[in-house]
Amino acid sequence: MKTIATASAAVRERISLYRFCKDERGVMAFFMLAMFLLMLMFGGIAVDVMRYETRRVALQQTMDRAALASASLKQGLVPKAVFDDYFAKANLGAGVEMVDFATPTVVVDSNSTYRKVEASAKVTSYNFFMHMMNVNTLESVNTTSAQQGVSQIEVILVLDVSGSMGDSDGSGSTKIARLRTSAVRFVDTIKALDTFNQVSIGIVPYNAQVNIPATLRQRFNAQNIPTYDGVANAGFPNANCLEIPQTTYTSTELSTSTAIRMAAVADTESTVSTSSNYLAPSSGAPSNNPLNRICNPTTVNQVSLPSLNRTTINSRINQLVHGGYTSIAIGMRWGVGLIDQTARPIYASLITDPEMAGRPANNTATDTRKIIVLMTDGEHVATDHVPDAYKTGLSPIWRGADGNYAIRFTTGGTALTNTARPGCAGTNTYFVNHLKTNSSTGCQSAAWRATPSWTGSGTAVQLDWSEVWRYLSVNYVARQLYGRSNTGISVSTVMDMFVDPYLQATTMNTLLASNCSAAKTAGVEIYGIAFTAPANGQSVINNCASSPKENYYFNSTNGTALDAAFQQIATNISELRLTQ
């Protein structure tokens, strides 16, 4: 029986074990327990990481704000004190346990022209969950760096002073008045931030030409320098415009050794209504209109070499007046040439301020920003000029002491004087304009003389062509001296000889694009302002401006927008920025 009972018990155990192995009740409990442990682990990791990241970001933001504030050139406190104050007021650890914020380490790099602040600090976050995996803390060493200023900034304002600048600016003023106000505010803003007096600003006003001071013209190999009061190469007072060769627009250098022709100080625009009736010079009709001269003799619109002195710069801006056509390319060519490193000998000889020594800096200098602000309210307009043959050299025209004129026609002379004299002239070669009365359009022998003399003439003086244009407009000479002489030469022929097309609008567009490209390649930053300009003007200025265009090009539709553009550029130039 015992054997049977033992065997029966063994069978029951095997049956129970078999049933236990086959029983699937409660099998998910093990899976759920494993998943719970995994979720707890990863959720805990997420909580610890989020706590750490929140504190790291808070630290970084506080450090960035402190860096910007301490790097400002206007900041009176030492950078470390600024950082300590920001950290104290940020309350980074307030109400937060298990987080340590280390005191920041601050390093300052500054000289007489800029300030750079670098700082580092550490945040340690003690983990709630990850310590179970033997990761007790998460740490981060945060760094920041901010700077304002560079060693020096060189700015050239290339400003449109053409005739259209006398129009309304759209907000109750003239455009030239608004330009003066906006440019002065621009200078004031920059110089107010120029704690170490290292921002120099020069001015290149332009219309159809660019007028430079005689002292600057003397630094170049100028040709066709006018005679004045009988003194050869004396130069026309306050009128020095150079016809820069087109081949130079692909470079930044403006050579002082290459021969450059001067523009004649001639009025090619004013017209005289008649070739038959006599018009006395005293009537005003034949006289040069300064606004119609290719190069307007004035000091107020002359180039001003860069200066560090705010008063000097603003004084020149406030003198600007409007007049003439628009040649943006010529203005830009001077701006680029005067900011290029090769202009340094010019500065050295003409600028007496010792603090300007060494400027312009090398184009590749990393501690210098070179900036041109190019502004126009128009577009390129084709211009004329007097060709070289009639810029300088003796003319066939004499001037008497009474301000009247005679012109000589001789066989074998130039194309303008080698012409058949009328029969009434006989052997006389001098036609005296005012002696021909208006009663007849035909030849009058009384107007012809063997010598350049008449009652009141005194000793008449033969004029250089440059002095002819000093006294008389081109059209007056063509009509009154040639047209009234009955020599058969037509006024249109004479005008074609005296006046040639200089630069067409399309040519100037191309030249401007080439020069802007060369300047940007050399490291010059170009800010462009189109001030109520037509589409073509907007296009060439936009193309010239540096990139990104949204930072360097401004389309100002009225005077208020012009002022805002200048202020934005001033802010950009003096910007305070994070560098890390």
User: Pairing mode, if any, of strands 221-223 and 152-160?
Assistant: unpaired
Report DSSP letters for 352-385, one per residue.
--GGGTTPSPPTT-TTEEEEEEEEESS----EEE
Q: Is residue 561 part of a domain?
A: yes
SS3 content of the chain, % helix, strand, coil (to 5): 40, 20, 40
Please indicate, yes or no, whether residues 474 and 450 belong to a single structural domain of this protein.
yes
Q: What's the mean per-residue pLDDT of the chain?
A: 88
Give the Cα separation of 474 and 390 in Å (integer).
11
* Amino acid 29: pLDDT: 60
Please indicate, yes or no, whether residues 90 and 127 belong to a single structural domain of this protein.
yes
Both tokens assigned to 553: 């090009």
Q: Work out the pLDDT band at 149, boundaries 50, 70, 90.
A: low
Q: Is residue 20 part of a domain?
A: no
Please indicate, yes or no, whether residues 156 and 188 belong to a single structural domain of this protein.
yes
Please indicate, yes or no, whether residues 118 and 166 belong to a single structural domain of this protein.
no
Give the Cα separation of 249 and 331 in Å (integer).
12
User: Pairing mode, if any, of strands 524-531 and 553-556?
Assistant: parallel
CA dihedral over 10, 16, 22, 28, signed as positive or negative: negative
Find out whether 503 and 333 touch, Cβ atoms under 8 Å: no
Residue after which a domain boundary falls, among 148, 170, 192: 148
Please indicate, yes or no, whether residues 415 and 481 belong to a single structural domain of this protein.
yes
108: domain range? Answer: 33-148
Give exposure, 382-397, as e/b (b: 16+ Cβ within 10 Å): ebbbbeeebbbeebbb
Q: Work out the pLDDT band at 97, boundaries 50, 70, 90.
A: low
Q: Is residue 431 part of a domain?
A: yes
User: Pairing mode, if any, of strands 383-385 and 405-408?
Assistant: unpaired
Least confident of 100-104, 164-168, 290-294: 100-104
Residue 545 sits in a domain whose CATH number is 3.40.50.410
* Amino acid 50: pLDDT: 84
* Amino acid 103: pLDDT: 78
Please indicate, yes or no, whether residues 451 and 395 belong to a single structural domain of this protein.
yes
Q: Which residues have C-beta within 8 Å of that of residue 472, sequence separation ≥ 6? A: 281, 286, 287, 288, 405
| CA dihedral of 238, 243, 248, 251, whole degrees rounded to 10 | 30
Q: Is residue 567 part of a domain?
A: yes
Find out whether 482 and 436 touch, Cβ atoms under 8 Å: no
* Amino acid 213: pLDDT: 98
Backbone angles phi, psi at 131, to 5 degrees: -65, -20
Q: Is residue 351 part of a domain?
A: yes
Give residue 11's region: left, alpha or beta (phi > 0; psi -120 to 50): alpha
Helix, strand, or coil (residue 273)? coil
Q: Is residue 237 part of a domain?
A: no
- For 27-81, write each residue's pLDDT tens digit: 566 566 656 666 666 676 787 778 878 788 888 888 888 888 888 777 788 888 8
Please indicate, yes or no, whether residues 414 and 432 belong to a single structural domain of this protein.
yes
Give the Cα separation of 533 and 379 in Å (integer).
7
Give the Cα separation of 516 and 549 in Å (integer).
14
Give exposure, 147-180, as e/b (b: 16+ Cβ within 10 Å): bbbebbbbbbbbbbbbbbbeeebbeeeebbbbbb
Please indicate, yes or no, whether residues 139 and 112 belong to a single structural domain of this protein.
yes
> Position 28: which residue type?
M
Rounded (10°) angle between helices 328-339 and 505-521: 20
Residue after which a domain boundary falls, among 474, 498, 522: 498
Please indicate, yes or no, whether residues 204 and 315 belong to a single structural domain of this protein.
yes
Q: Is residue 133 part of a domain?
A: yes
Please indicate, yes or no, whether residues 143 and 157 belong to a single structural domain of this protein.
no
- Domain total of the chain: 3
Q: Residue range 215-233: average pLDDT?
A: 97
> If you search the block for the tokens 């003007």, which residue do you land on?
537
- Higher pLDDT: 496 or 131? It is 496
Residue after which a domain boundary falls, among 463, 498, 533: 498
- The highest-confidence range among 194-198, 266-270, 519-523, by mean pLDDT, is 519-523
Give the Cα separation of 566 and 543 in Å (integer).
19
Share of the chain above pLDDT 90, in %: 61
Give the Cα separation of 36 and 47 in Å (integer).
16
Give the Cα separation of 210 and 329 in Å (integer).
10
DSSP 8-state code for residue 512: H
Please indicate, yes or no, whether residues 488 and 506 belong to a single structural domain of this protein.
no
Q: Residue range 124-151: average pLDDT?
A: 78
Please indicate, yes or no, whether residues 491 and 557 belong to a single structural domain of this protein.
no
* Amino acid 95: pLDDT: 53
Give the Cα separation of 331 and 296 in Å (integer).
15
pLDDT at 93 over 70: no
Q: Is the pTM of this model over 0.85?
A: no
Q: Is residue 346 part of a domain?
A: yes
